[in-house]
Structure 1
Amino acid sequence: MNIRFLETFVWLAKLKNFRLTAERLHTTQAAVSSRIATLEQDFGVRLFDRGAREVTLTTDGSKALVYAERMVKLMREMKDDMSDKQVYAGVIRIGVIESIVHSWFPDFLGRVHKMFPRLQIEIASDTTIHLREQFSKGNLDIVLQAEPVAGAHITNLNLCEFPMRWVGSPKLNIGSETLSLSDLATFPIISFARNSGPHAVIERLFSGSERGALHVNCIASVATMIRLVTDGFGVAAVPPAIIQRELNEEILHTLRVDVEFPALVMLACFRSDNENPLTETVARIAQETAADFALNWGQEIARLPSQAQ
């Protein structure tokens, strides 16, 4: 049943005049008359008695008006709810890697909460490998991570890029000289989780003569990595974005290395055919937050995707 026809019926019952109803609905008297005639045909009853100046409801029309008003009101409430983002409720499940957690994620959560105050957010912080697995199983609605997810109806939205730098503790007495991979190989290497993107880079960089002396420690927890490097256990390649406090307090410093470490690419991955209408909106909020972070901190900390070098 056409809701516009019911709305026409309700207004005609209130105004009791075809011309006034047409003006109220920004249509013609002929259109009003046609809609009422269609309703009467559908219901199999006469809704109005037509007079010279106005119309009045019949007994059947009075009965039908009660239901029509409910339906029009319900439709209006539905439209209001769909157009007002403040009323969005429910749950969205977000997976996120620690490198994002330790940088712009708190600001992102604040923005989501401000836009959707009634939305419940479930957060899973893990490695990209585990997040991709959980996302593929349908346990997560959106993942913020360092690698794209392949598959039909999946969107990978570029967020930003984190430059990677080798860092170490002043306790190592490395100094400010430029280091080679052979120099780094004399220290324990603290790496992101095995089979992660950064770990694969380390495997590739040290695949030559340095590999025999290499001692790599794969750690899934970024916080544990930072603690070990701070304590002088070894060196690590990490985004400066996640160790700003340690760098400012000079308990860690960046090392000059003659081989550049590729940047860590951040993406928001979500299903474009997902029944949850908020996934793309939330991903766009993540993109805006990451862009603001990059613009505020500069290219040594974070870069927009188009600024990748």
Structure 2
Amino acid sequence: MISSHLTLKQLEALVCVVDMGSFRKAAAVLGTTQPNISNRITKLETDLSIVLMHRDAGSVRLTARGEKLVSAARQVLRSAEVFWEAAARQDLIVDRLRLGVTELIACTWLHPFLRRFRAAYPSVSVELEVGLSAEISKKFSAGDIDLALQPEPFPSKGGGSLALGVYDYIWVASPDHLDEIGVPGDLDDILRSPVLTHGKHTLASGGLLKQAERRNLPVNQIVYSNSLASCVPMAVDGMGTALLPRALVKEQLNSAALVLIKCDWHPEPLRFFARFHKDRAARFVEVAASFAAEEAEKHE
């Protein structure tokens, strides 16, 4: 018979301290106090009669036995999730999903994804961060994000990932704006009037600047924005020609509020992935990644 001394909360505390690197951060993630986390691990060490980790000035170092037992603890926790799923009681999985997404996902299929995840895991709260891909990559690498929905490139391709599709860029403008400037024939024509696009630090804008430099074209009419979504109403209002992902303006194209413009240059398309830490992610994180892949496919 399995000893009743061992609890899932003890294993959860052990794994979380290792993943977060400190008792304080683990307590914040698990929604409890640092002394509580310390007590759980101390009790586990006492029951096992071994030392799992060394505490050094706020950081932790696993012992050799601790390394082996952390791996085993992850398997137990994942098996517990499988057990709840088999019982159709995912509502008993109480946790949180730290989700990082870029603006394009937030403006397209994020809401149906969140509704689906909420229906599957009603007791798992979602902490959402919408930001630039570079910022999401940093937090993902630091372990502050469990699931990142973002485009390439990212610093490391390690861990788990699922493809979310390819999003191409297009040139669009309002009918009123085209009446004013005429229909552009190529990039040279487009850059003679205001152009609305993402910030300078993005791949698309960087590619546009390089292409303009290569052709010796003016760039003083390019209007950069840290928000892709804000470019859409500006384009509809006739404030300029916009370089945007097609998925972001699908509704405006269908309603003819914006018109597709042919051009002899486009940025490289965005290739999106759902990224998670495969070696340590809870099972519900992997399930969330699969939900994201399915919702992305529906949106294509």
Q: What residue number does 1:113 align with?
A: 118
Indicate which of 214, 232, 242 corresponds to 1:236: 242
Q: Please state if 1:187 is matched with 2:188.
A: no
Q: What residue number does 1:149 align with?
A: 154
Letter in 1 for 2:129: A
Q: What is the correspondence of 1:36-55 to structure 2 with a 5 Å cutoff? A: none
User: Compared with structure 1, are the counterparts of its residues 79 and 104 closer, same or farther at alpha carbon in structure 2 (3 Å cutoff)?
Assistant: closer
User: Compared with structure 1, are the counterparts of its residues 156 and 187 closer, same or farther at alpha carbon in structure 2 (3 Å cutoff)?
Assistant: farther
Alpha carbons 2:184, 2:190 under 8 Å: kept: no
Indicate which of 165, 169, 176 corresponds to 2:174: 169
User: Compared with structure 1, are the counterparts of its residues 257 and 153 closer, same or farther at alpha carbon in structure 2 (3 Å cutoff)?
Assistant: closer
Q: What residue number does 1:251 align with?
A: 257
Q: Please state if 1:223 is matched with 2:229.
A: yes
Letter in 1 for 2:290: R
Q: Deviations over 1:190-224 (max 9, x none)?
A: 22122212222212322223433443222111221
3-state SS of paired residue (1:122): strand
Q: Distance in 2 between matches of 1:227 and 1:123?
A: 24
Q: Distance in 2 between matches of 1:182 and 1:120?
A: 49
Q: Deviations over 1:90-127 (max 9, x none)?
A: 11011111111221111111221121122111111112
3-state SS of paired residue (1:206): helix
Q: Deviations over 1:6-52 (max 9, x none)?
A: xxxxxxxxxxxxxxxxxxxxxxxxxxxxxxxxxxxxxxxxxxxxxxx
Q: Please state if 1:96 is matched with 2:104.
A: no
Q: What is the correspondence of 1:25-44 to structure 2 with a 5 Å cutoff? A: none
Q: Deviations over 1:110-154 (max 9, x none)?
A: 221121122111111112122222222322111111224333743
Q: What residue number does 2:218 align with?
A: 212
3-state SS of paired residue (1:211): coil
User: Compared with structure 1, are the counterparts of its residues 212 and 293 closer, same or farther at alpha carbon in structure 2 (3 Å cutoff)?
Assistant: closer
Q: Distance in 2 between matches of 1:216 and 1:190?
A: 6
Alpha carbons 1:164, 1:237 under 8 Å: kept: yes
Q: What residue number does 2:18 align with?
A: none
Q: Deviations over 1:177-197 (max 9, x none)?
A: 562110011122222122212
Indicate which of 290, 295, 298 corresponds to 1:292: 298
Q: Distance in 1 between matches of 2:188 and 2:260?
A: 17
Q: Please state if 1:130 is matched with 2:142.
A: no
User: Compared with structure 1, are the counterparts of its residues 293 and 173 closer, same or farther at alpha carbon in structure 2 (3 Å cutoff)?
Assistant: closer
Q: Distance in 2 between matches of 1:260 and 1:218?
A: 17
Q: What residue number does 2:84 align with?
A: 81
Question: What RMSD, in angstroms, separates the aligned Cα atoms of the two structures?
Answer: 2.7
Alpha carbons 1:149, 1:156 under 8 Å: kept: no
Indicate the percent of aligned positions where both proteins have the same amino acid. 23
Letter in 2 for 1:229: A
Letter in 2 for 1:122: E
**Aligned length, in residue pairs:** 222
Q: Distance in 1 between matches of 2:214 and 2:157?
A: 38
3-state SS of paired residue (2:217): helix
User: Compared with structure 1, are the counterparts of its residues 78 and 140 closer, same or farther at alpha carbon in structure 2 (3 Å cutoff)?
Assistant: closer
Gaps of 5+ in 1: 4-76, 295-309
TM-score of the two chains, using structure 2 as the length reference: 0.66
User: How much has 1:79 moved relative to structure 2?
Assistant: 7.3
User: How much has 1:80 moved relative to structure 2?
Assistant: 4.0
Larger Rg: 1
Q: Distance in 1 between matches of 2:251 and 2:208?
A: 25
Alpha carbons 1:192, 1:219 under 8 Å: kept: yes
User: How much has 1:255 moved relative to structure 2?
Assistant: 0.7
Q: What residue number does 1:34 align with?
A: none
User: Compared with structure 1, are the counterparts of its residues 96 and 135 closer, same or farther at alpha carbon in structure 2 (3 Å cutoff)?
Assistant: same
Q: What residue number does 2:12 align with?
A: none
Letter in 2 for 1:114: A
Letter in 1 for 2:151: A
Alpha carbons 2:209, 2:219 under 8 Å: kept: no
Q: Distance in 2 between matches of 1:138 and 1:267?
A: 17
Gaps of 5+ in 2: 4-79
Q: Distance in 2 between matches of 1:152 and 1:264?
A: 16
Alpha carbons 2:101, 2:131 under 8 Å: kept: yes
